[in-house]
Amino acid sequence: MSLPVGINVPQDWLSEPGQMGRVRDFAARAEALGFDSLWVTESVTNATPNLDPIAILSYLAACTSKVRLGVAVMLLTLHNPIQLAKSVASLDYLSDGRLDLGLGIGQGKEAQFGYPADKRVGRFLEMLDVMKAFWTEERANHQGERWQLTDLPMQPKPVQRPHPPIWLGGRVRAVVRRAVQHGDGFVGAGMASSEDFMAQLGWLYEELAAAGVDPAGFRISKRVYLTVSDSPQADWERARAWFQAHYGNGALADRITLVGSPALLSAELNRLINAGAKHLLLNPLFDETEQMERLAAEVVPNLGAANG
């Protein structure tokens, strides 16, 4: 694959016990097909199955050898930064430096977890500073509004130095600015349409210029919900049912999902690439293994440099 393309790891299978073999086989096949990365999400209190991202990525690290392992996104403000710094460093060590860490703010659920719901952005940024201190300093030191650390050791450090790539995700300009100022990349949300993402890229290039950051070294990805379909009418109905089950709003499918032939999907994905996406995170909604095979054979070869 000339353009780095990742794929979402399906977890709807996990509504029944004994399904991890299917996840293992999916991951192994994705690696064999040449996908550059496997991605999961964090969702703690949803009704649909979703394993803890550190846990499932640790499992996938043992099932694979070279494919990168990402979470997009982990809801940072629902965590303790010291414990999360340890978990992230451990996962990067277990995977021999294959982790990509996407971070976001906690979707307004902080109070459910016993954390303050106000000043979320300030807490997010301080938490990120705390984690970076543990990853980059022999002994972490940090004097902030909420955390005060003096000469605290943490070993082992992440394999990737100074730390795993940090992607910030979201849909508003403030998130784009934070990605430039505090992260290594920006990941466009699956809930953002192609047009939304292109507007975000306009903000992104303005923020990169303002910060004096070279765009060539800044990572840009987009999660895309999609289905390769020979029966679009039927698959649109399935897509609406999927969004109804996962987000309580079936109409979202019509705004943010791609359903259609390989040629149609290739053209739409190339629009994102031509606009500035350097990486794509493909997220089939159903028939995930079959979809992965078709995407690898019929869509991905048409993307980016391979498309001329």
DSSP string computed for the chain: --S-EEEEPP-GGGGSSS-HHHHHHHHHHHHHHT-SEEEE---SS-SS----HHHHHHHHHHH-SSSEEEEEEEEGGGS-HHHHHHHHHHHHHHTTS-EEEEEE--TT-GGGGTS-SSSHHHHHHHHHHHHHHHHHSSEEEEE-SS-EEEEEE--SPPSSSS-S-EEEEESSHHHHHHHHHH-SEEEE-TTS-HHHHHHHHHHHHHHHHHHT--GGGSEEEEEEEEEE-SSHHHHHHHHHHHHHHHHS-TTHHHHHEEEE-HHHHHHHHHHHHHHT-SEEEEEE-SSHHHHHHHIIIIIGGGSGGGG-
308 has a pLDDT exceeding 50? no
Q: Is 38 left (phi over 0), alpha (psi -120 to 50) or beta?
A: beta
Handedness of CA 91, 93, 97, 101 (dihedral sign): positive
Query: What gap in Å lies between CA 133 and CA 142, rounded to an integer?
Result: 7
Most confident of 107-111, 165-169, 171-175: 165-169
| pLDDT one-digit tens code per residue, 285-297 | 999 999 999 999 9
Angle between helices 173-182 and 194-211 (to 10 degrees): 40
| pLDDT one-digit tens code per residue, 110-140 | 888 888 888 899 999 999 999 999 999 999 9
Q: What is the mean pLDDT of the chain?
A: 95
| pLDDT one-digit tens code per residue, 24-83 | 999 999 999 999 999 999 999 888 999 999 999 999 999 999 999 999 999 999 999 999
pLDDT tier for residue 170 given thresholds of 50, 70 and 90: confident
Mean pLDDT across the stretch 234-240?
A: 98
One-letter amino acid of 196: D
pLDDT number for residue 118 = 85
pLDDT number for residue 117 = 82
Supply angle C-alpha 308, 167, 295, rounded to 5.
Answer: 40
Note the pTM of the prediction, 2 decimals: 0.95
pLDDT number for residue 305 = 56
Domains of the chain (ranges, CATH numbers): 5-307 (3.20.20.30)
306 has a pLDDT exceeding 60? no
Burial 96-118 (b: 16+ CB within 10 A, else e): eebbbbbbbbbeeebeeeeeeee
Could you give the percent of the chain with pLDDT greater than 70?
A: 98
pLDDT number for residue 1 = 55
Distances (CA, A) of 301 to 42, 277, 280, 296, 297: 30, 16, 13, 7, 7
Q: Which two tokens stand for residue 81?
A: 């930064």
pLDDT tier for residue 171 given thresholds of 50, 70 and 90: confident
Distances (CA, A) of 250 to 240, 243, 287: 4, 5, 18
For residue 149, what are the β-bridge partners? 142
pLDDT tier for residue 307 given thresholds of 50, 70 and 90: very low
